Amino acid sequence: MTEILSNYTPEELMAVVISREIRDFETIGVGAASPIPAAGCILAEQMQAPHATIIILGSKEYYPFPSGTSALHFLAQRGEMDLFFLSGIQIDRQGNINLHVIGDYQAPQVRLPGAYGSAMLYYMAHRVILFRTEHTRRTFVEKVDFVTAAGVTPKSVYREGGPTLVVTPKALMAWDQQGKEWVLQAVTPGSSVEEVKENTGFNLKISKSVRMTPRPTERELLLLRTVVREKLERIYPDFAEKKILPR
C-alpha cells in the first residue's frame, strides 16, 4: 500500500465518506461551521457530482445569494433542498440532536450557541446527514438533554425528510425508518463493531451485513489535498492547514 493510501486524518476519512453519499444534480446546503461536509461536497463535485449545486455558508464561491441573507433557509422551506448536514453536542438513538445545553435547561452545566435554523432544516431538507468528530458515550446518548431538532415527529406533522446517516471517525450509522433508530452499517478502518458499541451510550442495533468502510482511494486523497484543500483555504483556512494533509 502506498504512503498516500495508508496515511490520512480522521477528518479526511469522514470527508471522503460523506462525498460518496452525494448525488449529481442535487442541491446541497452546508452550514457555517461545517468544514468536514464542505470538504466532502467539494470532493464530490470533483468526482461523481459535477452538476451538483453546492451552497456553503461563509463561502464566496459557493454562496449564490447576497451575503447576510437567509436565502438558504428559504430554499429549504420551499422544498428545494435535497441534502443538508447537521451535528450536535449530543445525538440520541431516536435521531434527536442537542445544540442548546448540557444538563438542565434552567441551570445548565454548559450553554451552547443554539440552533440557527437547524430544527427547520432537519424537517425540510429531503435528506439530512449528521456528523460528529467525537464518537463517545457522552456524544451518543440514550436521550438528549434538550431537543434542538427532532429526529422523529408525529404523523400529523409535515416533514419533507429527516435523518438518513451519521458519519463519525469510527462508524457509519444508517437510519431505520421503520424502527426509528440508528443501525450500525459500517465501521471505519482501525475500528470494530465492539469498539463502536462500547463508545455508544445506547443499545445500538447492528446490521446483519455490517461492513468495513472502504479506505480513501489515491484519487480521492489526491483531489482532497490539492483542489479541495485550495478551495477550503478560502473558507476554513485553519481546518485546511491542520486537518487536510499536504500533497
- Helix or strand run (H / E) with residue 110: strand 108-111
Element (H, E) at 215: none
The residue extents of the domains of the chain are 3-242
- Look at the pTM and tell me if it is higher than 0.85: yes
pLDDT for 1: 44
pLDDT at 78 over 50: yes
Q: What residues have CB less than 8 Å from 42, skipping those under 6 apart?
A: 54, 62, 227, 228, 231, 232
Alpha helices in the chain (DSSP H): 3-6, 10-19, 35-46, 71-77, 118-124, 193-198, 218-223, 229-232, 237-243
DSSP assignment of 156-213 equals TS--S--EEEEE-SSEEEEEETTTTEEEEEEE-TT--HHHHHHT-BS--EEEEEEEEP
Residue 90 has pLDDT above 80, yes or no: yes
Whether residue 128 has pLDDT greater than 90: yes
- Rg from Cα positions in the chain: 18
Checking if the pLDDT of 2 tops 80, the result is: no
Reported as a single tens digit per residue, the pLDDT across 157-171 is 889 999 999 999 999
- Give the CATH number of domain 3-242: 3.40.1080.10
Looking at the chain, the whole-number percentage of residues with pLDDT higher than 70 is 98
pLDDT tens digits, residue range 10-27? Answer: 999 999 999 999 999 999
